[in-house]
Every structure is written in structure tokens, then in C-alpha cells.
Structure 1
């Protein structure tokens, strides 16, 4: 204690009265101050600073349609698959027309042709026209209708225009007076002029002709529904195959 007293400055000895207790308290204060100062300098020492981690790029975003502003975004997903356009349904190709080709052709008879066929196609399907046949009044470019007749250069038959049951060279009326009506070429109108034959029976005759490929003899007329023995006797001298 005497040593500490000797080393204490004079103004401290004078101020504190050099009391031992006072010197001890002063020593404790100095030590505490020295400790605080050391702690302050320790806390203020430089520290190593680590570089910030690399921030990865955010995925690309697309704002939804109809919504504005950068704050509303949605992740772009895969584009929806586009369904192939339905193909158009194929056009029906099974329609047919049945026509009766007669007169001066190589193979007269009832023919079945595709729908949309023309008179020229019917003449070609019948083997073509005979040499020297008169084609005046026949419109070979006309489209055929189902159940009509195409007559080529038939004597005693007036040339008529197309119509139900009529043909490119179809007959108008009942033909020349006294000329038998052909069962293989007559129209409904022609058969309707025969005694006892109305439109219904005339259609039955044409249906039978179409179904059996024509009449080979007048006697086959008895096979038509609605023609009995008496009616056949009246019609026999007025018709021909």
C-alpha cells in the first residue's frame, strides 16, 4: 500500500487525503475503466465481410390476357394443343337414275346410270346410235332424270322436251293415229291414252318394264298388276313390245 501511495501523483494524494481506503477505491475504478476501454476497442475491431450470394434469375412470367399491371403475373405454361379441323364428310356417290333408251341405238333397254349423268352418257351406255340416225331435237348435254325415256329417231313420234317420264326424243301424246304404242318406250302419258289405262296402271306397266328389263312380247302385259284377261284383250291390238 505504501508503494501505491508513493507512485500516486501529488494532486491525487492531496485531493484524496492519501487514505488507504480511498486509494483502493481509486484503483478499482481505474481497473474497471481500463476493462471497459478494452471491451470497447474489442467490439469495434474490423470483421471480415462475406460477399452476398448470387440471386438466381426468376422464371419468365406472362401477364394473363385482360389484366394490366406488372404486379399480376402468371407463369407461362405450355400452349394448348390445337385440335385438327374436322374433315368434310364425303359426298354421297350411291345415287342412281334409271332411264329407258330406245329407238336407233345399238343396245336399247332400261339402263341404270349415276345421278347427274347426261343424255350423251345414256346413248353411250346403250352402245351408241346407229349409223344414219337423226339426232335432231336431242339435247345430248341435258342432265337425265330418274324414270325418263331417251328415244332416238323413232318414226311417227313427235319430239318433245324433257319432263316427267319424257325423254330427249320422247313422244308427245299418243303418237300417230293407228300406230301401236311401244310397251318398251311409251311414257306414262302415252299409256294413259289407251282404253282402260289410267295414270296408276300406266305407272305399274313402266315399273314392270323397269324391273324385268323391258317387254319381250305383248303377252307379258298379263303379268302387270291390274291387267286382267278382259283388259288385256282390249289392249293387245293397240300395243307392241
Structure 2
């Protein structure tokens, strides 16, 4: 090349350095531009698994975000595998109870402090599996089975029905008054004492003046009695 181009040895050395540098730059450029495998996002992977017939993996929400009060599972239980039931009537602690999914009526009664002495539970199926949002009423006269069509049909499933006819506040005995939700022997006697002192009941609203009957208990009793 020196003889053909007439280059001096120094110029030939400089040209060689330039060519080597150009080759290094070209190699680095092609190496950085090579294709690399990229992992598909989780949602794309999940969709591909569903299309292939495999199970989809549920995606967790953002950290610190908990499901809202209305979020429920397909089985009717609240998040965390719990159900909410209302236990009323002749139990020690009537009210809302939070139980594990799959609990039975007997579990709800235990959570409510147990059945009060003298309560009639012969028609209450304590082995029945509870469903979220139902009510279990204990100790009412005229027991009836849950509505046909399974749990949840026609509203909340009730363990026992209320009195067949309204209880007369003017003539009811202690035993008859005890059939009302949340009324025990002591409160039943208070109702009769008020009747004796005031010459009877002119309206159901007078029950509010009886010692031991608050707004919640009055709301439960009102549709089941008459003056």
C-alpha cells in the first residue's frame, strides 16, 4: 500500500489507527442495538393464560388499599372469609355478629352469648349453615322454617317467625310478653307494672316510657304488639 499510494510510514500508521478505531465503534454500535428478551407485563401474562385455558392468577391491589365495605366474594362472604348475621330475640347479647364463612346457627348463638333460660329453640335448626346478611331470631312463638328456595330467597332468612298475632299490652301475661324480641322476665314485669299504674295502654308508643325499653328495642317490639 505504501508503494501504490506513495504514503509515508507515519501517514500509513495514522490511517491504520483510524481504521481500527472505526471498527471498534462499529462493533460497539451493533452490540448495543442487538435485540433483548423483554418479560411481558403481568396482566398480559394473565390474559394469555386465560386464552390458553389455564387459571388466571388474581392481581393484588396497590399496597395499603383494602376492599370497600361492599366488596364480597362469589360465595356471599365478606373479604377475609367472614359473614355478618343479625341474632335477635332471647339471647344474652342480641345484635350483629361477625363469623367465619361456613359457620352454623349454633355458632351464631354462642357468639351472641347463648340462649336465655326458658327460650323455646325446638324449631330452630342449630346445624344449619349460615349465609351472609341473614337474621336468626330466637324464642318467638309460632316457629317456621326458612323461606323456600334456599338462603337469601325473599330477603333475610329468619330462624323462627314472630308471634302469629299481635300481643295485647292490656291483657298479656309475663309469659306472653317474653315471646317478644329482647323481652325477659324483668322487662315483662316492668311492662305489666306500667299497665297497672296507668290503667292500661292507650297506644303502643307508651312503651317508650317503660324502664328498660330504648329506641332499638321499641322498634323491634312495636309491630308485634297492640294496646
User: What TM-score do the two structures reach when normalised by structure 1?
Assistant: 0.35
**Could you say which structure has the greater relative contact order, defined with CA pairs below 8 angstroms and 6 or more residues apart?**
2
Larger radius of gyration: 1
User: What TM-score do the two structures reach when normalised by structure 2?
Assistant: 0.36
